Every structure is written in structure tokens, then in C-alpha cells.
């Protein structure tokens, strides 16, 4: 029942957001819906920890440990993004203000629904449909500002991700053929795992490559990443928090669900594919972070880096590395949402995204500057934040497994990325502010969102609750057979 409600609530909120009422009605409905989804996601997570996989409708809707983890992150970021949107979107609407607000929140809720569907649908074909729905809903949010740059970013996003969708569809059709040839009946994740021993390795490998390239485009893996910095920098900041914080991880989830099936056939060398694509993504992002001039693009390229780190962790293989991967998924999602809330707050204050134009942010706005500093330190991997601990666990697992070359390269790239992020943020936060700068008060909703996002970023670097630790362990175990 909980899973069905989680799917239904965003749809109801999307419909109610279009009701011609007071302009505060749509954001209030969205926040209420997101709060309900978060409560249900928490309940679902506890149920999964206690009983394992939950099935709402056999062969259609279910939730395993990895699904529960991503669902929980999705619900949290959706709530904080909805709260941040209330004050942020009010100042970014222009003409037809009320209608634009309604459309924004309706599409926001539909976007959240589409991501939830990706992790809860059991039918692989429907998962592909849900992934495409995330593109359809988010492209309207990316182009929300209706500027030339936003429209160009949205167009680039659609073209490249639809090309990726075509590749993924070919892979899924091949996977279906392989499953039916092995005696499978229903095209679900569980059925694929059950008949994986009989699947033709050649067909499975070809299907995997198509799916990796196709969905890897949506994840932002190099070299299919070129749309990501444009879309994630032009979209409204609360949408960026969803795109970078959870959408990329949600699509990566689809690739990760294939891992137990792929491990049946060592000749596929799935680990090597994950490892190489991850290292290439981290390395490219490290170099791109050095030359970035827009702080929203800075955080967007950081997303490319972190998706690569997760891929490397999965590629290393073994329970310890897989735990590092799930821990990295958690730490990146909560931290990246904070980063984009800080970026949105900064944009409200200074009105520019150029790094070189911003100095002394912590003096101009102690709240925005402090959040920007903490978010930057955390996402770069500084101790004692959660990203540092998740990356450390990956390094430890890699060294224990004898992957010295991969870990050395990963370490070099992460250090480069750390230096680049710190260089850019240092000048923005601690430099001398312009003479004509004045202190600006942030909307209360922005302060609330920053506070809500800050709490797990700080706490989870110091302490992981037992229930969350168990969920991470279970999610890591689901990546193997």
C-alpha cells in the first residue's frame, strides 16, 4: 500500500497544482505531497530493512534495498527542493506569474513521480518508459527561465538524451530476447536474475554495452556528458538539486540493477567496463573543473566526477567496494542538493553566476556564504564530511583488492578536483566584496532549505544511524549475487 501511495501522491499534487487558486496553493500542495512521500519512504526503508524486498503488485511494483535507499534520498531532496522553490521561483517568473508558478509546480511533481517510477517499477520495459518520462518532465523545468541559454540547454538535453534512449532501448530489446531464449516469462528484474545462468553471454554483453551507453548519457558519464553542465546550470537551482542530486543517481540505479545478472558471465568483464568508464569520467571532470567560470557549472561538473567515482567503486567489486558505492550515492545526493541551494541563494543575492565577479560572499550574506563554503568543502571530499568517508571506504576497498593502478589514478583525479573546487570557492567566499555590495536577506524558505540540507551533510559525516547503516549494507549486498 505504501508503494502505491508513494506513486500516487505526486500525481495528485501535480493535478492540484494547476487548480486556479491563490498563488501560494501550488507550492503548499507540493510541499505537503513531498512531506507525505518522505514519511512513506522512511516507513518503506524500515520495512525493507526488516523484511527484505517489498512487493506491492506482483511483477509490477516492488522495492528492494537499493530502491529503498534511492527512494529515501529522492524524497528528501524533493521536499527540500520544494521548500526552496517557494521563495526562489517567486522572483524568477516575470509575466503571467501565477500561471507560470502553477505550471512549474505541476511539472515539478510529475518529474518527481517519474523518478519514483524508475526505482519502483519491476517491469524493465516500464522502467525505460519512466526514464524517458524523467526527460520529458525535466526538459520543461530546464527551459523554465525561457532565456536563449536555457532553451539551448533544454534542446541539447533532449537531443542527446533521446539518442541515449534509443541506444538503451536496443539494449533492453536484446535483453528481453536473451531472457525469453533462456526460458524467462515476465520481463522483470527478479525474472532476469532467476534465468541469468541460461542467458547467452554474447547477447548479454551486447545488451549491456547498449544500455551502458544509453543510460550513461542520462547519468552524465564521459564522453556522453556534454548536455549535463548546460542543463544543470540553466535550470532553476531547486531543479538543479533534483537533476544533480537524485536524477543522475536514479538513472544509474537502472545500470546497477544489471550487475548481479552480468556477474554470472565473467567473460563480459562488467567490472572492467564500470572501472574504465568511471575513471574516464572522474579524470575528465577533474580537468574541466579547473577551467570552469560559472559556479553552477562547477557543481555540474562535480556531478560528472561523483558519478564516475560510483562507477569506479562498482567496478572494483566485492562487498567493501560496493558498500563504498552505496555510501557515495548517499553522500553525493545530500551534499549536491545543499550545493545547489547555496548556488541558488548566491544567485538571488549577487545576480550573476560568474565566479570571477563574486568576492567576499560570506560578508555579503553569512548564511549563503557559509552554506557555499560547507557545501564546497563537503562535495570536494574534505573531512569530516560524508563524501570524504565514502571516498575513503572506496580507497580502502580498492587497496585491499590489489587495484593499485586504478586507485592511484582515482586518487590523483580526486585531488585535482579537490584543488579546483577549493580554488574557485576560496575567492568567492573569502575575497574582498565590491564596494557597492550590500547585505541582502534571503527568503525564509531558502534559509529553511539550507538548514534542512545542512543537517545530514554535517551529521552523516560524524555519525551514521544503525538503521541507515543496515540499509547501506543491504543495498551494497544487492549489487552482487
> Mean per-residue pLDDT for 364-392?
93
pLDDT band at 208 (very low <50, low <70, confident <90, very high): very high
pLDDT(59) > 90: no
Per-residue confidence band for 185, with pLDDT thresholds at 50, 70 and 90: confident
Contact (CB, 8 A) for 395 and 407: yes
Tell me the average pLDDT across 309-322: 94
- Give the pLDDT score at 11: 96
State the pLDDT at residue 92: 58
pLDDT value, residue 233: 86
For position 93, what pLDDT does the model report? 56
Position 436 scores a pLDDT of: 61
Exposed/middle/buried for 1, CB within 10 Å: 0-12, 13-18, 19+? exposed
The DSSP code sequence of 245-268 is IIIHHHHHHHHHHTHHHHTT-GGG
3-state SS assignment for residue 138: helix
Q: Which three cell numbers stand for residue 203?
A: 547477447
CA distance 449 to 343: 12
Confidence grade of residue 68 (pLDDT, cut at 50, 70, 90): very high
Identify the pLDDT of residue 94.
58
| pLDDT at 142 > cutoff 60 | yes
Instruction: Compute the distance between CA of residue 104 and CA of residue 147 in angstroms, rounded to an integer.
Output: 16
Provide the angle, in degrees to the nearest 10, between the axes of the packed helices 65-90 and 248-257. 170
Q: What mean pLDDT is predicted for residues 416-439?
A: 83
Burial 51-88 (b: 16+ CB within 10 A, else e): eebbebeeeebbbbbbbbbbbbbbbbbbbbbbbbbbbb
Say how many C-beta atoms besides its own lie within 10 A of residue 91's C-beta: 10
Helix (H) or strand (E) holding 62: strand 61-63
Query: HSE of 453 in the Cβ direction (CA atoms, 13 Å)?
Result: 39
Sole residue written with cell 545462468: 197
Question: Are 345 and 449 contacting, i.e. CB atoms less than 8 angstroms apart?
Answer: no
Rounded distance between C-alpha atoms, residue 252 and residue 479, angstroms: 12
pLDDT at 308 over 90: yes
Higher pLDDT, 198 or 288: 288
Q: How confident is the model at residue 379 (pLDDT cuts 50, 70, 90)?
A: very high
pLDDT at residue 411, rounded to an integer: 96
* CA–CA distance, 257 with 67 (Å, rounded to integer): 10
Q: What is the C-alpha R_g of the chain? A: 21
- Is residue 173 within 8 Å of 203, Cβ to Cβ? no
Q: Are 135 and 143 in contact (CB under 8 A)?
A: no
What average pLDDT does the segment 296-311 reach? 95
Supply the mean pLDDT for the chain: 91
Q: How far apart are the C-alpha atoms of 427 and 442, rounded to whole Å?
A: 21
282 confidence band (pLDDT: 50, 70, 90): very high
Three-state SS for 366?
helix
Minimum mean pLDDT range among 248-252, 270-274, 407-411: 270-274
CA atoms of 441 and 460, how far apart (whole Å) = 29
pLDDT (mean) for 271-292: 94
How confident is the model over 154-170, as a mean pLDDT?
A: 93
Contact, 298 vs 376, CB < 8 A? Answer: no
pLDDT value of position 424: 92
pLDDT at 147 over 90: no
The answer to whether 285 and 291 have CB atoms below 8 angstroms apart is no
Give the pLDDT mean for 415-428: 93
pLDDT of 303 over the 70 cut: yes
List of residues 6+ apart from 386 with CB closer than 8 A: 327, 330, 331, 334, 335, 378, 456, 457, 460, 461
- The pLDDT of residue 91: 66
Residue identified by cell 530489446 is 173
What pLDDT is stored for residue 386 in this prediction?
94
Q: What is the pLDDT at residue 338?
A: 96
**How far apart are the C-alpha atoms of 392 and 256, rounded to whole Å?**
21
Measured torsion, CA atoms of residues 233, 234, 238, 239, in degrees rounded to the nearest 10? -100
Residue 439 pLDDT: 67
pLDDT score at 212: 95
Q: What is the Cα–Cα distance from 278 to 480, expressed in whole angstroms?
A: 19
Rounded to the nearest 10 degrees, what angle do helices 124-142 and 227-234 cross at?
50
What's residue 88's pLDDT? 85
In this predicted structure, what is the pLDDT of residue 437?
62
- Asked if the model's pLDDT at residue 343 lies above 70, the reply is yes
Contact 321, 314 (CB under 8 A): yes
Lowest mean pLDDT among 67-81, 100-114, 350-364: 350-364
Q: What is the pLDDT of residue 98?
A: 77
Amino acid at each position: 500500500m505504501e508503494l502505491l501511495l508513494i506513486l500516487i501522491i505526486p500525481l495528485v499534487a501535480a493535478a492540484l497544482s494547476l487548480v486556479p487558486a491563490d498563488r501560494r496553493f501550488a507550492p503548499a500542495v507540493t510541499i505537503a505531497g513531498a512531506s507525505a512521500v518522505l514519511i512513506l519512504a522512511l516507513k518503506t526503508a524500515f520495512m525493507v530493512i526488516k523484511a527484505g524486498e517489498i512487493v506491492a503488485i506482483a511483477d509490477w511494483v516492488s522495492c528492494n534495498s537499493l530502491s529503498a535507499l534511492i527512494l529515501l534520498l529522492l524524497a528528501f531532496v524533493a521536499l527540500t527542493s520544494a521548500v526552496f522553490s517557494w521563495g526562489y521561483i517567486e522572483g524568477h517568473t516575470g509575466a503571467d506569474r501565477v500561471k507560470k508558478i502553477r505550471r512549474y509546480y505541476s511539472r515539478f511533481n510529475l518529474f518527481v513521480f517519474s523518478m519514483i517510477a524508475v526505482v519502483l517499477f519491476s517491469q524493465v520495459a516500464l522502467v525505460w518508459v519512466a526514464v524517458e518520462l524523467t526527460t520529458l518532465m525535466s526538459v520543461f523545468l530546464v527551459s523554465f527561465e525561457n532565456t536563449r541559454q536555457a532553451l539551448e540547454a533544454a534542446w541539447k538535453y533532449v537531443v542527446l538524451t533521446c539518442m541515449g534512449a534509443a541506444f538503451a532501448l536496443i539494449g533492453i530489446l536484446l535483453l528481453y530476447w536473451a531472457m525469453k531464449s533462456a526460458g524467462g516469462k515476465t520481463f522483470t528484474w527478479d525474472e532476469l536474475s532467476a534465468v541469468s545462468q541460461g542467458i547467452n553471454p554474447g547477447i548479454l554483453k551486447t545488451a549491456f554495452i547498449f544500455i551502458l551507453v544509453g543510460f550513461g548519457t542520462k547519468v552524465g558519464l564521459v564522453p556522453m556528458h556534454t548536455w549535463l553542465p548546460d542543463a544543470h546550470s540553466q535550470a532553476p537551482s531547486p531543479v538543479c538539486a533534483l537533476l544533480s542530486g537524485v536524477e543522475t543517481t536514479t538513472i544509474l540505479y537502472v545500470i546497477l540493477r544489471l550487475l548481479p545478472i552480468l556477474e554470472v558471465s565473467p567473460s563480459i568483464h562488467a567490472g572492467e567496463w564500470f572501472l574504465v568508464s568511471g575513471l574516464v569520467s572522474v579524470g575528465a571532470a577533474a580537468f574541466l573543473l579547473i577551467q570552469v567560470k560559472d559556479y553552477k557549472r562547477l557543481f555540474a561538473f562535480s556531478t560528472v566526477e561523483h558519478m564516475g567515482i560510483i562507477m569506479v567503486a562498482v567496478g572494483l567489486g566485492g562487498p567493501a567496494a560496493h558498500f563504498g558505492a552505496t555510501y557515495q550515492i548517499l553522500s553525493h545526493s545530500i551534499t549536491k542538493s545543499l550545493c545547489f541551494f547555496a548556488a541558488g541563494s548566491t544567485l538571488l543575492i549577487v545576480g550573476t553566476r560568474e565566479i570571477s565577479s563574486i568576492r567576499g560572499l560570506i560578508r555579503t550574506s553569512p548564511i549563503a556564504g557559509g552554506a557555499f563554503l560547507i557545501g564546497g568543502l563537503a562535495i570536494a571530499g574534505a573531512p569530516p564530511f560524508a563524501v570524504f568517508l565514502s571516498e575513503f571506504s572506496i580507497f580502502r576497498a580498492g587497496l585491499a583488492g590489489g587495484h593499485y593502478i586504478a586507485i592511484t589514478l582515482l586518487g590523483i583525479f580526486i585531488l585535482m578536483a579537490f584543488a579546483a573546487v577549493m580554488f574557485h570557492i576560496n575567492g568567492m567566499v573569502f575575497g574582498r566584496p565590491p564596494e557597492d555590495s550590500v547585505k541582502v536577506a534571503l527568503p525564509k524558505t531558502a534559509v529553511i532549505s539550507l538548514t534542512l540540507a545542512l543537517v545530514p551533510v554535517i551529521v552523516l559525516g560524524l555519525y551514521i544511524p544503525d538503521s541507515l547503516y543496515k540499509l547501506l549494507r543491504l543495498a551494497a549486498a544487492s549489487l552482487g549475487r
